[in-house]
Amino acid sequence: MARIFAYVTHKNGVADDSALELAAAVRKIDPAAAPTAIVTGCGIELDTVCEAIRLSFAEVWKIAGDNLAYPNAELVRKALVQVLPIGSIVLLPHDHFGIDLGPGLSIKLNAAFAPDVLGIDGVEGGCLKVVRQEFGGQVSAHVRCDLSLGVVISIRPGAFKALETVPANGTMVNKSSGVGTLESGRRYLETIIAESGDVDITKHQVLVSIGRGIQDKDNVGIAEELAEALGAAVSCSRPVVDAKWLPKSRQVGSSGQTVKPKVYLACGISGSFQHLAGIKGSPLIVAINKNPKAPIFQVADVGIVDDILEFIPEMTEKVLEARGAKTR
Amino acid sequence: MEILVCVKRVPDTTENELQLTGNDIDRDDLVYSINEPDNYAVEEALQIVAKTGGSVTVATVGGEDDEEVLRREMAMGAKQGVLLSDDAFNESDGRGIATVLASYVGKNHYDLILTGVQADDGAAQVGGMLAAMLDYPFASLVTSIEALDGKKLRISREIEGGNKEMNEIDLPCVLSIQTGINEPRYVGMKGIRQVASVEIPAFGAADLGLDTSAVGAAGARVNRTDYFVPALGKGAEILQGSREENIDKVMELMKARGGLN
């Protein structure tokens, strides 16, 4: 079996949650594997992260460099290519960093590439068997990756449950000297923090969340009416922001807000994993969608196959009726 | 600026309920369209050349059926469509597709190459692979592009929590474009008719000087063996009542959760 590596991302001296998820994914490839963590960065933050993840990995490779302070995937790729042995199995998180790094890394390592993997069925006949999703999560696929020249795998965040930490007390190896001068035609400038919007959807107990099924900017009003009747706020999925029907601050998902309501009414939302990643705290999820195959029905508590353009106004009426009856 | 946009024709999943047949999805009666992020990439390219001059070329790897998406993007304003087509390209994995595109780029000159962030397989891989093959810098999930001079761009990338990562990137480079970067222009039937008879050149493996063992099924190291619908876990309890009954039930559940008083 080839050597297995997990690239650990971190921020402010703390390893990302994905680190332990990658360790769990490694166990699915080979339960007996002793994976190596690779961490790049600089200074005391890097040392803190390396020290912390020694508990979960048999070995930790540290690559320190002044220009690795911010994780520019172009520079990280150049560093990794210099230290990784030929034929390695390399795991990354499938997030904005992994999407940046993975494809190019696979080419430069001359390895196969398996992106956005959410299941691993072990190794058979020199192939790693993985599970992916296609067509917006409507169907899954069994995929076989040729391991003969190694493979780069990006792991969907949340798909593998982090294992209880097995005290590994891993060995620290400083690989910094194996990496020459790193330069890239892409230079990180700064991070611009998202502007807060008119409504803070993270503070609401009930969200009326709309997706592509709302169909037109003029229909957003029906969701606002229901939200008003419920004392809720209107949030949305990515297509609604892309179409400029609602501001970015209303978007739930990995590239938007993380919300923790008591009730989440998903109206005309298909339920991509990026969207679901923004819903925390196990709310009651009610999905209303015309398409009975919409992936949202796999995660919702209650599903209704219906046209939201008719369902929402009727629900608004019923809520107002119930409220009216109470105040009388 | 000369810009190449790599596009793909995909089943429109918002219009189709997918069914499985054998090891594939049932492709009869599917509604196909341009991959949505690719359409944003073409619009972005058109907006850049409107400012800097130059022209936009759209290319796809596929067959005759795929010409329709090239014509659609030409109706938007792309000057040229290019079809990269050969039986040897069938069943390529992401690396194979990137190899075909890299060989085409090697025979032409482009200052900037754009792709959509991902297509129907959700892999988000071809742009980054193409860049690595060409030794061009790459950035994914791009949400704005500003041409600084003829030599570099200032771009933003979408990162977590709605934050943006700003970068400067040298030309030539490859960028994968995130949806929402612009508002793609409308394409009417009139526009489509105007480009209906424009010739779209097709290039095969021999034209591109490609070793066919590096592409298609022969070069693929990643193979999809079948599609399946995963056994539903808990799954949603699907309410089967009338609309009125369903609304009552939802309100009752909301009350139980303290979400309605």
Q: What is the mean pLDDT of chain B?
A: 95
Q: How far is CA B226 from the centre of its chain?
A: 22
Closest residue, chain A, to B240 (C-alpha) = A304
DSSP, collapsed to helix, strand or coil, labels residue A34 as coil
Topology of domain B2-219, CATH: Rossmann fold (3.40.50)
What pLDDT does B109 receive? 93
Let me know if domain A201-327 sits in CATH 3.40.50.1220: yes
Q: Give A-chain residues touching B128 at CB under 8 angstroms.
A: 99-104, 107
State how far the Cα of A123 lies from the Cα of A110, in Å rounded to an integer: 20
Nearest partner of A100 among A23, A46, A154, judged by Cα: A154
Q: Give A-chain residues touching B141 at CB under 8 angstroms.
A: 96, 99-100
State how far the Cα of A74 lies from the Cα of B139, in Å rounded to an integer: 8
Q: What is the mean pLDDT of chain A?
A: 94
Q: Does residue A328 register a pLDDT over 60?
A: no
**Residue B170 and residue A185: Cβ atoms within 8 Å?**
yes
Closest residue, chain A, to B175 (C-alpha) = A100
SS3 of A37-64: the string is EEEEECHHHHHHHHHHHCCCCCEEEEEE
Categorize the per-residue pLDDT at B232 as very low, low, confident or very high, splitting at 50, 70 and 90.
low
Q: A306-309: long-range contacts at Cβ-Cβ below 8 A with a sequence spacing of 24 or more?
A: A306/B243, A306/B246, A308/A210, A308/A213, A308/A214, A308/A267, A308/A268, A309/A213, A309/A214, A309/A215, A309/A219, A309/A222
Q: Does residue A73 register a pLDDT over 70?
A: yes
Q: How far is CA A281 from the centre of its chain?
A: 16
State how far the Cα of A145 lies from the Cα of A152, in Å rounded to an integer: 10
Among partner residues A99, A136, A319, which is closest to B124 by beta-carbon distance?
A99
Categorize the per-residue pLDDT at A165 as very low, low, confident or very high, splitting at 50, 70 and 90.
low
Region A267-284: mean pLDDT is: 94
* Chain B closest-CA separation from residue A154 CA (Å): 10
pTM equals 0.94
Q: Give B-chain residues touching A252 at CB under 8 angstroms.
A: none
Closest residue, chain B, to A119 (C-alpha) = B230
Closest residue, chain A, to B11 (C-alpha) = A135
SS3 of chain B: the string is CEEEEECCEEECCCCCCCCEECCEECCCCCCEEECHHHHHHHHHHHHHHHHHCCEEEEEEECCHHHHHHHHHHHHHCCCEEEEECCHHHCCCCHHHHHHHHHHHHHCCCCCEEEEECCCCCCCCCHHHHHHHHHCCCEEEEEEEEEECCCCEEEEEEECHHHCEEEEEEECCEEEEECCCCCCCCCCCHHHHHHCCCCCCCEECHHHHCCCHHHCHHHHCCEEEEEEECCCCCCCCEECCCCHHHHHHHHHHHHHHCCCCC
Categorize the per-residue pLDDT at A1 as very low, low, confident or very high, splitting at 50, 70 and 90.
confident
Residues 6+ apart with CB under 8 A from A231: A206
Closest residue, chain B, to A212 (C-alpha) = B14
* Chain A closest-CA separation from residue B197 CA (Å): 32
For the segment A175-185, what is each residue's pLDDT rounded down to a tens digit?
999 898 899 99
State how far the Cα of A266 lies from the Cα of A236, in Å rounded to an integer: 8
Among partner residues B138, B224, B259, which is closest to A141 by beta-carbon distance?
B224
**Residue B162 and residue A194: Cβ atoms within 8 Å?**
yes
Q: Where in chain B are the domains? A: 2-219
**Residue A142 and residue B224: Cβ atoms within 8 Å?**
yes
Region A17-37: mean pLDDT is: 94
State how far the Cα of A104 lies from the Cα of A112, in Å rounded to an integer: 11
Region B141-151: mean pLDDT is: 95
For the segment B170-221, what is each residue's pLDDT rounded down to a tens digit?
999 999 999 999 999 999 999 999 999 999 999 999 999 999 999 999 999 9
Q: Give B-chain residues touching A254 at CB under 8 angstroms.
A: 160
For the segment A81-130, what is each residue's pLDDT rounded down to a tens digit?
999 999 999 999 999 999 999 999 999 999 999 999 999 999 999 999 99
What pLDDT does B27 receive? 87
Categorize the per-residue pLDDT at A197 as very low, low, confident or very high, splitting at 50, 70 and 90.
confident
**Residue B139 and residue A100: Cβ atoms within 8 Å?**
yes
Region A212-232: mean pLDDT is: 97
- Homologous superfamily of A4-176 in CATH? HUPs (3.40.50.620)
CB count in 10 Å sphere of residue A66: 8
Categorize the per-residue pLDDT at A41 as very low, low, confident or very high, splitting at 50, 70 and 90.
very high
Q: Give B-chain residues touching A77 at CB under 8 angstroms.
A: 132
